[in-house]
Structure 1
Amino acid sequence: MPTTLRRTTVTLPLAPLGPENPLPPLLPLDEMHTLDERERASLPAEMARQVGYGPLRSVLPARVLDGYTRERTPAALDALVLENDRLRATVLPGYGGRVHSLHHKPTGRNLLYTNPVLQPADFALNGAWYSGGIEWNIGATGHTTLSCAPLHAARVTAPDGGDMLRLWEWERLRDTPFQVDLWLPENSDFLYVGARIRNPHDRPVPVYWWSNIAVPEEEGTRVLVPAEETWYFAYERRLRRIPVPEWDGADRSYPLGSEFPADYFYEIPAPSRKWIASLDAQGTGLVQTSTSLLRGRKLFAWGHGPGGRRWQEWLTEPGTGGYAEIQAGLARTQLEHVPLEAGQEFAWLEAYGPLAADPAAVHGRDWAAARAHTESRLEEVLPRAEVDAAYEAWRRCADSEPHGGLLAAGSGWGALEVARGGYSLPGTPFPEETLGDEQRPWLELLTKGRFADDPGPGAAAAAGVPVPSLVSEAWRAQLECAPSGPLTDYHLGVAQWHAGDRAQAVRSWERSVAAAPTPWALRCLAFADAHEPHVRGRLPRAADRWLSAVESAVSSAAPPVVLAALVREAVPVLLAAGRTAQARDVLDQLPPDTRARGRYRLLRAQVLSAEGKKAAAREVFEAGFEVDDLREGDEVLSETWAALSDEPLPERYDFRMRPA
């Protein structure tokens, strides 16, 4: 059959994302892939330089997604299917353009791990993420803020004249537009993916990319890659070079060989072909290869310990098989960002398809022979020269314009940035009609010099939650030139904080509060106080300001999501300040359905513990609760339990990703 591209739906048990957290994330969420200065000093020069380049100050201008629960109901998700006579790729444009499944027709196998549910969990840079398929991680170290966001999608003519699916968006952490083109040449067993990141600015930008491929994990699954060494990173936050495949008494090329979750970033020699394969006990599975720019390869394994097993269950449903991740990136490790010069672009081609090899060779004790055999099988089914030729053919199509209208629409942020910067981006249009309610106040600031809906000095702030703040240098300059007002000064303070000018940020928020004491501006002042704890008197003032923010939210009848977000932040600060009675009072102001959620039941247990009521706090654990948005690597459950009991941590609360 000729290659076709069509719309369809995929029905899955779905936990909806829920409302965004309306409070600006002034600091990054805890990202596990970080190193201290001592660790960095021991790295090779290029790696050390890139590890220290462009760290995130926050996930602004994105908002945090933490409003989901673990209640799932069947839902029909929009999907796009690219298909030829050998492969069928199903893509979810509304969820980061994720390749949901890759079905190989001759063998009847799905080459990917496809999660039977869509359950958000707190793994992305801005919270919500879900496991399975192939995801396109762009922006900064961690899972992209676009994990659960819609991308633009349209039909484009492929290099061979057939249909090609183009996905694109404006990545907001680094202000870099990108595209992902997927096509299936006729009679091909391989899905081709052309990817491009552009820097339209007059300055270098830090860039990050890792294609993350979830593959089935079985007892006999082995991951093969052309490397003899790997950089091992576990949740003790150490990066060290170890041999491949065996180290510390275990063969680490088998994902179940490790006890605890860990990353393995492979040292692939520069001249070597870039590939990675996950093959089962019979020597069959998936192989990914690319042009040389995509130099990095990685295995992430959950391991066989209780914490890793618990996380696997958390991300799907009981009785579901496990998975591992094989990945491909622009740098050697995911701790690095790579500079992209002004006006330049990074572009490469990837290929995904089935591989069958001799199981005796694949699983033999001779690692060099195992990987050489696997690479020879790859060369037979997809020669390296063919991948390079496909890349050159795709480059001639990369600027071609989509036709037939959008198959799916992403956000309006790209259209806003194009309006501000006047960028020319052939092949990735950001239509004006995609501008929505969140972008229109910023468009008015751009065109009229004032922020929409800001009543100006001396007037109360407009009702409702402010639109998300924009924080780039260009938007900060626009805000600085606008007339002062409670809303303008609030957004200006967020942009100044993001730029590192905390003193000016506090002044802007103080002007905003003087004009109208809104919950969001009061909270920003409280946050600033709480993160300067070495300054005498700041923690009590932070507690006072968080209480004022909560009172403002209650008196102004702010939406429930505002009060919930404020209480979540306020309780730990009140406890740190020794104000347990006020912490309890703040929790009691939440509506019953919010208090019943796991996050707030955990806070209740912590308040009871601080009051010396350990038996009552234990009863909260014994009754059972689930913290829907438990963060990857967060040890709050085990730490809270340890303060209450000398007994082992109950299995349902054991999410520990490192040895005690």
Structure 2
Amino acid sequence: MTGPANRASTVQLVRRRFSIAELGPENPLPLVGAPPETPYRIAGAVPREIIDGSTYGNPANLFPYRSQDAYDRTRTHRELRTVVLENGRLRAVFLPELGGRLWELYDKTAEKQLLHTQPAIQFANLALRNAWFAGGIEWNIGTRGHSPTTCSPLHTAIVRTADGHDVLRMWEFERLREVVFQIDVWLPPDSAVLFAAIRIRNPNIREVPLYWWTNAAVPENAGSRVIAPAESAFASDYSDGLVRVDPTIDGGVDCTWPTNNPRARDFFFDLPARQRRWILNADRDGDGLAMLSTDRLRGRKLFVWGQGSGGQRWQEWLSPEGGPYAEIQSGLAQTQFQHLAMPAGAEWFWLEAYGNAQVNPGLAHGADWGAAVGHCQSRVDDLVGSSSLEAALSSARSRADLPPELPVVVGTGWGALESVRRRRNGLPWVEETGTPFPAESITAEQKPWRDLLNGAGFGGATSFVAGRDWESLLEAESPSPHAILHRAVMTHARGEPLAAGALYREALRLAPVLQQPSQEWAAQAHRGLALLALSADHGATPRTAEGIAHYGLACALEPGNASLLLEAVTATIRVGMPEVALRLIAHAEQGLPQSGRVRFLTALALAQSGHRDEAAALLHEGVEVADLREGENSITALWQDVCPDQPVPPHYQFAMSSV
């Protein structure tokens, strides 16, 4: 795919077999509850900018997205489409079907992978929508956490520049903030770095809170050190808040060596305002990934799982065949607890570069941190200078709207639907020449909403949308139970519980008008009423009995809905009604009680209802919860409760703070 003048640099489309778990269908329940990454309370001796940014823009929920939680831990071999960029120095492999992940970056001179790249892709519950996998470089947008798009396909194509070079372009519409992001990647002939130009466009007539972090997984071994040009960092250990530390003597140890950290830890390096933006990982030979960027990408971070039993277990869980890893990251804000205000109609553009700085290990690993930073700075400058980055950024800007020539992967149809919606309502939208959202990308998920926009009526949808204009269109469809239910969900997500409750009850009143689908939508309405009754939001007092009763009705209507069963059982246990939880499990459709999460919840309900021996027996038989949440210590706690005289088995130890 390269012209005669560009033979030293190639772009190839390659189908490659991976050992990978099935992602499964999306969860049918709308995400109207609090997101997994809740707002972080920051106070004390940290800059006002960080404190203010941590309280700005935190979403109440992730609506209109749905969870990706139907995977298990059974992997099979299947093909994925990859895009390979290669020159005489580097080879980069991308996974456009999985969030555009840069999966491999191989240095041909050092004969080393600069990224942590494992043989298997195993999904786990670390992302905003649940599913996530370890390895490579991922692009995170929206809000704090791993991106809603990290396990979804991106629109992907090859762009041909005027001088005959090939650029890999990936783009998508991000539904939480309603912005369009674009990633242009290229590898010039004989270049020692891979370039990635990021463009984010806010087409809205209002300011939006924005979050972006580029996360790179790098091999963790005893000979590796992470270096960034800062004398201090803001550290978080997921329990004690955010504090300023000297990472070279934090807790009496030099934590810039990832293997020195006893527990999971974040270090947000405090780079001076005029400091060039970079961070690198240097192994025993001085090789490793260097991440550089232009100034807009301000933050730099080191993340470690820690050397405790829980951290090691997480490493095995996420990277079953790849060994341990740490992460070095770059972000728009100074920490990941902040959002930045992106003005209406704004376009943000920056450039990132990745390569091997090939530092002198004797200097980079020396006890004098200032000398180590100074040496690495010089090697980073030799790798690619500031002026070269700025020139590359300027070139990227000039071709950002070049039309794609060769389609590779079709992303979701939400961008195409948004384009139709905005045209219909006379709202501003992005220029699509370089990032087209083709009508062909619309699938069964978006079709009912497109039909509604086009005046063809509304017969219901399994997906969800957000916006007052959608609600107006649905209101015109009344008295359709489908339309009323979706209005209820939108109102619920917007934080208006009284109005949402009235609409849910109206949908239930009209549900008998429908035929077979009425049970599904009636179950959704009962579920919504259950959430509202159990919520303490907006000063409300939880109505426990009412909420659990609605969950019971919902599960009776849909006994085969695994997502509903898990949510209902979890809620009943949380409010101290384990006997009800066991009854719900007993009446579930055959096979559901054997799933790992349901088996764990069964054991938990048994323990809470006094049947501790039965709970212990289930744990001894083995319980594997495929979507165990990052930081979730529930299995460890249950074992300690029902088997107090026995040490927690290694496969049940997931505590991120244990040493």
Q: Normalization by structure 2: what TM-score?
A: 0.93
Pick which of 40-49 and 7-16 moved more: 40-49
Structure 2: how far apart are the matches of 1:349 and 1:537? 49
Q: Residues 35 and 60 of structure 2 are in contact (CA less than 8 Å); yes or no, is this contact kept in structure 1? A: no
Shift of 1:131: 0.5
Deviation sequence 1:142-196 (CA, Å, 0-9, x none): 0001111000011113475300000000011111111000001111011000001
Structure 2: distance between partners of 1:231 and 1:160? 45
Correspondence for 1:525 among 529, 552, 574: 529
Matched, 1:10 2:16: yes
Q: Report if the CA contact (8 A) 2:45-2:243 is conserved.
A: no
CA distance in 1, matches of 2:162, 2:232: 37
Q: Does 1:596 align with 2:601?
A: no
| Displacement of 1:394 | 1.0
> Which residue matches 1:459?
none
TM-score with structure 1 length normalisation?
Answer: 0.93
| AA partner of residue 419 (structure 1) | V
- Shift in Å, 1:127: 0.3
- Kept in 1, the 8 Å contact 2:104–2:115? The answer is yes
Number of residue pairs the alignment of both structures matches: 636
Question: Of residues 130, 140, 143 in structure 1, which corresponds to 2:143?
Answer: 140
- Kindly provide the amino acid, as one letter, of the partner of residue 284 in structure 1: D
1:632 to 619, 630, 633: 630
Q: 1:240 aligns with which of 243, 250, 262?
A: 243
Aligned residue type for 2:527: R
Hey, what does 1:27 align to over in structure 2? Answer: 33
The amino acid across from 2:489 in the alignment is V
Amino acid at match of 1:15: A
Task: Describe how 1:438-457 pairs up with structure 2 within 5 A.
Answer: 438-448=445-455, 450-451=457-458, 453-454=459-460
Find the aligned partners of 1:438 and 1:238 in 2 and give their Cα distance.
Answer: 41
Q: What's the CA shift for 1:201?
A: 0.7
| C-alpha contact (below 8 Å) 1:449/1:481 kept by paired residues | no
In structure 2, give the amino acid aligned to 1:471. A
- Aligned-pair CA distance for 1:89: 0.9
CA distance in 1, matches of 2:155, 2:637: 43
Instruction: Please state how far the C-alpha of 1:578 moved relative to its aligned partner.
Output: 4.8
Structure 1 residue 42, shift from structure 2 partner: 5.1
CA distance in 1, matches of 2:303, 2:473: 43
Q: Relative to structure 2, which stretch is displaced further, 23-32 or 304-313?
A: 23-32
The counterpart of 1:253, out of the listed 253, 256, 269, is 256
What are the Cα deviations for residues 279-312 of structure 1, in whole angstroms up to 9, with x where unaligned? 0012111111000000100010111111110000
Choose the corresponding residue for 1:93, options 96, 111, 116: 96
Question: 2:245 corresponds to which letter in structure 1?
Answer: I
- 8 Å contact 1:157–1:397 — kept in the other structure? no
Which residue does 1:291 correspond to in 2? 294
Aligned partner of residue 272 in structure 1, secondary structure: coil
Q: Could you report, residue by residue, the CA deviation over 1:407-448 in whole angstroms, capped at 9, with x for unpaired residues?
A: 110000000001111324241110111111111111122121
Q: 1:515-543 CA deviation, whole Å, 9 max, x = no partner?
A: 11611111111111111398567100111
- CA distance 1:499–1:536, change in 2 (3 Å): closer
Contact 1:100–1:134 under 8 Å retained in 2: yes
Report how far residue 610 of structure 1 moved: 2.2
Whole-Å Cα distance in 1 between the matches of residues 50 and 161 of structure 2? 37
How do residues 544-563 of structure 1 correspond to structure 2 at under 5 angstroms? 544-554=549-559, 560=560, 563=561
Aligned match for 1:396, one of 395, 398, 401: 398
Q: Indicate the residue corresponding to 2:416 in structure 1.
A: 415
Aligned pairs (5 A) from 1:203-352: 203-236=206-239, 238-318=241-321, 320-352=322-354
Q: Is the 8 A contact 2:129 2:148 kept in 1?
A: yes
Q: SS in structure 2 opposite 1:113?
A: coil
Matches within 5 A, 1:37-52: 39-40=42-43, 43-52=46-55
Which amino acid counterpart does residue 22 of structure 1 have in structure 2?
P
- 2:543 corresponds in structure 1 to 538
Cα distance, 1:373–1:578 mapped onto 2, change above 3 Å: closer
SS at structure 2 position matched to 1:251: coil
The aligned residue for residue 462 of structure 1 is none
1:357: Cα distance to partner?
1.4
**1:256 and 1:302 in contact (8 A); partners too:** no
* Cα shift at 1:95: 0.1
Percent of aligned pairs with the same amino acid: 38
Structure 1 residues without counterparts, runs of 5 or longer: 455-465, 555-559
1:495-552, CA deviations, whole angstroms, 9 ceiling, x for partnerless residues? 1122121211111111111111611111111111111398567100111100000111
Give the CA deviation at 1:103.
1.5
More moved, 22-31 vs 227-236: 22-31
Say whether the 8 Å CA contact 1:471–1:494 is kept in structure 2.
no
Please say if residues 471 and 496 of structure 1, whose CA atoms lie closer than 8 Å, have aligned partners that are also in contact.
no
| Separation in 2, partners of 1:343, 1:479 | 28
| Cα shift at 1:30 | 2.4
Partner of 2:516: none
| Match of residue 358 from structure 1 | 360
Equivalence for 2:61: 58
Q: Measured at CA, do residues 104 and 575 of structure 1 come closer, stay the same or move farther in structure 2, by a change above 3 Å?
A: closer
Secondary structure of the structure 2 residue equivalent to 1:510:
helix
Quick check: 347-356 or 585-594, which moved more? 585-594
Residue type at the aligned position of 1:20: E
2:614 matched to which residue of 1?
A: 616
Q: Counterpart of 1:649? A: 648
User: For 1:614 and 1:176, how far apart are their aligned partners in 2?
Assistant: 51
Aligned CA-pair RMSD: 1.8
Q: 2:462 aligns with which of 458, 467, 470?
A: 467
Kept after mapping to 1: 8 A contact 2:316/2:323: no
The answer as to 2:436 corresponding to 1:429 is yes
Once the two structures are superposed, what CA deviation does each residue of 1:62-81 show, in whole Å capped at 9, x if it has no partner? 11111100011111111111
Offset at residue 659 of structure 1 (A)? 4.3
What is the CA–CA distance in structure 2 between the aligned matches of 1:235 and 1:203, rounded to whole Å?
Answer: 33
Distance in 2 between residues matched to 1:56 and 1:537, nearest whole Å: 22
In terms of mean alpha carbon deviation, does 532-541 or 152-161 score higher? 532-541
Contact 2:110–2:287 (CA<8 Å) still a contact in 1? no
Unaligned runs of 5+ in 2: 1-6, 424-428, 512-518
Conserved? CA contact 1:137–1:144, under 8 Å: yes
